[in-house]
Structure 1
Amino acid sequence: MPFGPGPGPASHRTVDIDGIEIFYREAGHPDAPVLLLPHGYPGSSFVYRHLLTALADRWRLIAPDLPGFGYSGTPAPDDFDYTFDAYADFLFAFAQEMRLDRYVIWLHDYGSQFGFRLAMREPARVAGLIIQNGDIYEDEFGPKYDGLRRFWTNPGPESRRGIAQHVSLDGFRDEFAGELPAEVADRVPPDLWTLHWSLMSDPARVANLVRLLEDQPTTLAWFPRQQAYLREHQPPTLIVWGPNDGYMPEGAARAYHRDLPGAELHLLNGGHWLLETHLAEVVPLVRDFLNRVHTPA
């Protein structure tokens, strides 16, 4: 039975995690099955705002702003290491603080790395995975990775300056609106890059974000372990993917069938931000999946 008569509003709250004030959005009944929504780069919980209200009748959706993103606090580098390891540890601590004992994890962009590590850390708590343009197959990287690879193979001040050039309003616009077909490009609101740049443009935040981008090569060593997790545990998985993505084209989605041959896969005519361009198509797919794998006891 649903917990309410229909979609409901989101609440906006804060919680202290290891001395960091963390902002998060939450929707749905507190006793409903949980959908955990870690965000990626250069976003925040704002990218899940429509999804939260669309599914709040039956599920509890929780979307935190990661440290140094959105409306969350920005600890000094001595207090928080802006690396993928640190963000994975943060997501675990957040789930612990929120007392989440079972959940479906949404895996998108960098959030897929943090979410996968949470799943691997506590596989018994995972009711399922929803993968939306979150890649773990290096051989299927799209052409936009070529520039990043040049920075990865030649680390140092020059590469850092090159990365920093992308941490800008124009860089954010390209992240949110790049590669989309003309017929859907105008569905992406400029709020995405203007809001997120206004929140990220503080020099300390820029420096922290450059540090995170520099750390991205460390994720490559995790890919085989994440693939092994999928093969061993075979979690119920829904893949909703926008193939018009310079980082993660169609092949990056289909590669999941190597390790999860039974995963449900839907390729939509969008790009990296399907919740902005194809929400009406994504929500019924997610609702059907959750109704099958993650319903009230």
Structure 2
Amino acid sequence: MSRQIFHNTVNVDGIDIFYREAGDKTNPSLLLLHGFPTSSVMFKNLMVALADKYHLVAPDYPGFGFSAFPDRNSFEYSFKNISACIARFTEVIDLKKFTIYLHDYGATMGLRICVNHPEKIDGLIVQNGNAYLEGVEKIWDEVRDYWDHPTEEKKKKVYAFISAAGTKSQYYAGLPEALHSRVSPETWLLDWERMSRPGNAEMQYELNCTYKSNIELFPVFQEYFRTYQPPALVMWGKYEPYFNVAEAHCYKRDLPDAQIHILDGSHMLLETNFDEVVELINGFLSRNFA
């Protein structure tokens, strides 16, 4: 069985979307949705590990990774619009049913797909993915205050995460020093190179300012959980600095059969806890597709 990853680009309503694909298309499919500030590159090792049993597809969002970066005057950089683009992407490549991997930004984009197309969803794999208020309480207070009461001074603080240091911190923040050697340095350097393109930092800021729309949809996401009861695997780093670890257990409210695992890592578990993540995913998928 081949473990080769293929790198393709497909036109989705006038926008070139880059994606990585591996595995036999006749096997159960996984749609892998990356977070900020990265791209489908975060899934390379996972795709190789799972390609013998599953079909895996990992797209880059518009303005991220190697997908097109359309002008902000011609494309609306919001979670709603990017989610709609990725939903159309699944139609263009004829991906009819899949387990969806939800990480960081990819969680709220992916959950919009779940709500709008529940018939396509075989299951959920959540890695530090925000769908409950407990995840952003206190940690996001300053950002949420800026959304409601914007000032230039507050903007400078919010904008600070869109920088080389802010990009690097996505990989290292909260992580014990003993685990630093597990992080590949080219990951955040590639992320920052992509974000350094003219106009990209402004786009990232603009997109982040639409995150409030995701919080407003949390009750809708939770209703989807209660109504459809998709099988769910939830993995969280206990040192996660951006979404409170308490949120992981919130999924049990609406998905009582969800598997919850708190790992000895931070925000990028595929970097620092790869063996554990692969074991958990393999176990989850083997039960789901037994």
Equivalent in the alignment of 1:176: 171
Q: How far off is 1:186 after superposition?
A: 2.5
Equivalent in the alignment of 1:75: 70
TM-score by length of structure 1 reads 0.93
Equivalent in the alignment of 2:115: 120
Q: Partners in 2 of 1:146 and 1:180 — Cα distance? A: 22
Q: How far off is 1:144 after superposition?
A: 3.4
Q: How far off is 1:156 after superposition?
A: 5.2
Q: Partners in 1 of 2:91 and 2:15 — Cα distance? A: 15
Q: Partners in 1 of 2:76 and 2:203 — Cα distance? A: 9
User: What is the DSSP-based 3-state SS (H/G/I as helix, E as strand, rest coil) of the residue aligned with 1:203?
Assistant: coil
Query: Quick check: 2:147–2:209 contact (8 Å CA) kept in 1?
Result: yes
Is 1:277 the counterpart of 2:272? The answer is yes
Query: Quick check: 1:270–1:277 contact (8 Å CA) kept in 2?
Result: yes
Q: Closer, same or farther in 2 for the Cα pair 1:48/1:142, shift >3 Å?
A: farther
**How do 1:52-71 residues align onto structure 2 when only pairs under 5 Å count?**
52-71=47-66
User: What is the DSSP-based 3-state SS (H/G/I as helix, E as strand, rest coil) of the residue aligned with 1:12?
Assistant: strand
Counterpart AA for 1:289? F
Q: Partners in 1 of 2:265 and 2:41 — Cα distance? A: 19
Equivalent of 1:147, from 138, 142, 146? 142
Is 1:227 the counterpart of 2:222? The answer is yes
TM-score by length of structure 2 reads 0.96
Q: How far off is 1:30 after superposition?
A: 2.2
Q: How far off is 1:161 after superposition?
A: 3.6
Counterpart AA for 1:256? Y
Equivalent in the alignment of 2:34: 39
Question: How big is the alpha-carbon RMSD for the aligned residues of Structure 1 and Structure 2?
Answer: 1.5
Q: Partners in 2 of 1:49 and 1:85 — Cα distance? A: 26
Counterpart AA for 1:100? L
Moved more, 148-157 or 247-256: 148-157
Counterpart AA for 2:158? I
Equivalent in the alignment of 1:245: 240
User: What is the DSSP-based 3-state SS (H/G/I as helix, E as strand, rest coil) of the residue aligned with 1:51?
Assistant: helix
Q: Partners in 1 of 2:153 and 2:92 — Cα distance? A: 40
Structure 2 runs not aligned, ≥5 long: none
Equivalent in the alignment of 2:12: 17
Percentage of matched positions with identical amino acids: 38
Q: How many residues were matched structurally?
A: 290
Structure 1 runs not aligned, ≥5 long: none
Residues 24-46 of structure 1, C-alpha deviation per residue, up to 9 Å, x if partnerless?
Answer: 11110122211001111101000
Query: Quick check: 2:139–2:244 contact (8 Å CA) kept in 1?
Result: no
